[in-house]
Structure 1
Amino acid sequence: MSRPTQAIIDLEALRSNYRLADSLAPQSQSIAVVKANAYGHGAVPCAKALEPIVPAFAVASIDEAIELREGGIRKPILLLEGPFSFGEVQIASEHEFWLMIENHNHLAFIEQCEHKKLICKPLKCWLKMDSGMHRLGFMPFEIAAIYQKLKSTSIVHDEIVVATHFATADVEGDAFVKEQIDCFNEAISGLGCLTSLCNSAGVMAWPQAHGSWNRPGFMLYGASPFELPQHNDKTLQSVMTLQSKVISVRNVKKGEAVGYGKTWIAQRDSRIATVTVGYGDGYPRHAKNGTPILVNNQRCKLAGRVSMDMITVDVTDVGSVNIGDDVICWGKDLPINEVAHYSGTIGYELMTRMPLRPSRIYINA
């Protein structure tokens, strides 16, 4: 029998979350972001589950896009970081990858391809604007001229999407988002172009910024992009359940320590369960004592430092606990964001750093 640590991936929950994103912006099209191995959930299985209901996908790089093509995905795929070389522009044309154009090197790659007559199919391009996040994109004053330049390029499809990215959309009512929206709208005034501004937080909390295209990512996997609860959060369904089992149970006397570094000292006579999951399985190394965990569907607390392969849990108050009992590290009844909070990080990191060690079991395909 194999080690019981598994990541259960509910593909119907994934589809439900996509439908929610789509319904929140009915005048937009919603691109499904499956970068970073679909946020740790498995890019190809997740894309296959979504392909019948999405118009396009988005990934970070061409390597991720090629993985999807080799896995049988045929819908268009947007490369959010654009091409990293001249040759990738050719590959994008051949495989119907859409290119994010965000710097002058990208423009030079396209000009080279046009000059050398290397492109057989027109390129679908998105033009990235830096509206204030100062990470990627052309400055607002450049956008109109570069947009017209792309439109006049023979190898670029006429339908160009102008896009930007919000720095603080996960803070409800934040004034800087409004500044970015105003900056964006001013820069594209008179272009009559297609637009894309919203990530998950934008989709859920900033309807005035819903463009021609939205780019939901994190919310598709059932976790809220907000630190504070929002009205739509309760309708998201957790896609991943990280689960394992109890492999040992012991009694610990008051004053005795548990785990590496003796960081947890029993304040009373206690019952401690050892669970076969650790940072080698994606459970966060920095999870604090008291981090919630479900044993037999009852809330318990982490007791002691997280090891590579195991954690120890205080089960004193939950009745009978035995070897083989079920443990949920995060999932439907224990949000990944809550575990992340106790670990000094965010749910995005826990998802995307999931290693291959835990078996991924796909349900509701």
Structure 2
Amino acid sequence: MRPARALIDLQALRDNYRLARELSCARALAVIKADAYGHGAVRCAQALQQDADGFAVACIEEALELRAAGIQGPILLLEGFFEASELALIVEHRLWTVVHSLWQLEAIEQASLGRPIQVWLKLDSGMHRVGLPPRDYAAAFNRLKASGKASEVVMMSHFARADEPGSPASLDQVAVFKAATEGLQAPVSLRNSPAVLGWPQVPSDWVRPGIMLYGATPFDAPQANAAQLKPVMSLESKVICVQQLEAGEPVGYGAAFITDKPMRVGVVAMGYADGYPRHAPTGTPVMVAGQRSRLLGRVSMDMLCIDLTDVPAAQVGSPVELWGRQVLASDVASAAGTIPYQIFCNLRRVPLVYQG
């Protein structure tokens, strides 16, 4: 009966996927790791399976959940496998795997697979997280080809700063990639969400849209292509109490906000236990009764307070949007000193209600 919920607009999800493919003129793996960034991996995959060229998840547990739900399309393991024993499951469930380390290549060479698997061979082009160093890449590629155990090899890397349009770092990484793969013939996958939106000159036969699928921009500033995205999640609740306070009264834990005039304060059934960021400060935007307002004081575990002084129509039971179509998740994240990726992934306890 608690009114907190997250509405998930599946048509918006499909529209954002189609935009990614339209902007990139390439095949696109829908990245639905981390339970589709908090949006529900199975339902999102089901909504996309008629459109998507494939899916990408972090690990085999996430892939097997999709297969158990009847998802039949390609599924790429972005972190690859963690133990050689996983290769049997990769073969059985027709999964694709990233190879980012020499030990994984050696495990494939030594395994009795039964049939070849598709491998996405990852280059560390400058992010220095995972990936083969440039000096080892061509030899690893040729070993995979010679092994007879790779049905296809896709050459991939990942950008560290594609969300910074003015930074030369992404083009520097492209140059490293081109040098390391010179003379190798295989499909290429370089572009993630910010690169799909903001780096059209980067070559990619496959793209990997993630955050853009869910309608949030990866950029700190307005960007033309990102402006076309449609928010997928609307985090909603209701006002459950209204307080009329005089000037000088504290609101919430720690008296973090003190009224500077007579104010109407609304209490909303939403807190950090639901995934709303605890460090969102006073002034973080909310929508109440169709009118823009602001957060007041500290976010509690189950409740938060908002300013109703200039929203006379707001009463107990009035609807509140914490983020969604009217209050962008990126604006809430920015106010809280974080990113929309995190606030989506932190969502919990609230039921997901699917539409479209």
- TM-score bracket relative to the smaller structure: over 0.9
The structure 1 segments of at least 4 consecutive aligned residues displaced by more than 2 Å after TM superposition are none
Q: Distance in 2 between matches of 1:278 and 1:210?
A: 43
Deviates more, 1:206-215 or 1:14-23: 206-215
Partner of residue 144, structure 1: 138
The structure 2 residue matched to 1:127, chosen from 113, 121, 130, is: 121
Partner of residue 177, structure 1: 170
- Post-superposition shift, 1:207? 1.1
Q: Is the 8 A contact 2:5 2:235 kept in 1?
A: yes
The structure 2 residue matched to 1:156, chosen from 125, 128, 150, is: 150
Partner of residue 237, structure 1: 230
Residues 266-277 of structure 1 mapped to structure 2, 5 A cutoff: 266-277=259-270
Partner of residue 28, structure 2: 30
Q: Distance in 1 between matches of 2:282 and 2:168?
A: 37
1:360 aligns with 2:336: no
AA of the residue aligned to 2:143: K
AA of the residue aligned to 1:13: A
- Post-superposition shift, 1:4? 0.7
Residues 232-271 of structure 1 mapped to structure 2, 5 A cutoff: 232-271=225-264
Residues 295-306 of structure 1 mapped to structure 2, 5 A cutoff: 295-306=288-299
Partner of residue 63, structure 1: 61
Q: Distance in 2 between matches of 1:190 and 1:112?
A: 26
- Post-superposition shift, 1:314? 0.9
Q: Give the secondary structure class of the aligned counterpart of 2:195.
A: helix
Residues 1-365 of structure 1 mapped to structure 2, 5 A cutoff: 2-26=1-25, 28-113=26-111, 117=112, 119-157=113-151, 159-355=152-348, 357-364=349-356
Q: Is the 8 A contact 1:286 1:306 kept in 2?
A: yes
The TM-score, its normalising length taken from structure 1, stands at 0.96
Q: Distance in 2 between matches of 1:209 and 1:327?
A: 41
Q: Deviations over 1:270-298 (max 9, x none)?
A: 00000000011111111101111110121
AA of the residue aligned to 1:123: I
Q: Distance in 1 between matches of 2:313 and 2:10?
A: 33
Q: Distance in 1 between matches of 2:142 and 2:205?
A: 19
Deviates more, 1:266-275 or 1:147-156: 147-156
Q: Distance in 2 between matches of 1:359 and 1:178?
A: 42
Q: Is the 8 A contact 1:202 1:210 kept in 2?
A: no
Q: Distance in 2 between matches of 1:183 and 1:155?
A: 27
Q: Distance in 1 between matches of 2:279 and 2:40?
A: 24
- Give aligned-pair identity as a percent: 47
Q: Distance in 1 between matches of 2:335 and 2:194?
A: 22
The TM-score, its normalising length taken from structure 2, stands at 0.99
- Post-superposition shift, 1:52? 0.5
Q: Is the 8 A contact 1:143 1:188 kept in 2?
A: yes
Q: Give the secondary structure class of the aligned counterpart of 1:52.
A: coil
Q: Distance in 2 between matches of 1:296 and 1:112?
A: 63
Q: Is the 8 A contact 2:289 2:313 kept in 1?
A: no
Q: Distance in 1 between matches of 2:243 and 2:42?
A: 42
Q: Give the secondary structure class of the aligned counterpart of 1:124.
A: strand
Q: Distance in 2 between matches of 1:59 and 1:44?
A: 12
How many correspondences in the alignment? Answer: 356
Q: Distance in 1 between matches of 2:333 and 2:126?
A: 28
- Post-superposition shift, 1:175? 0.7
Q: Distance in 2 between matches of 1:327 and 1:303?
A: 14
- Post-superposition shift, 1:210? 3.4
- Post-superposition shift, 1:107? 1.3
- Post-superposition shift, 1:37? 0.2
- Post-superposition shift, 1:197? 0.5
Superposed CA RMSD in Å reads 0.8
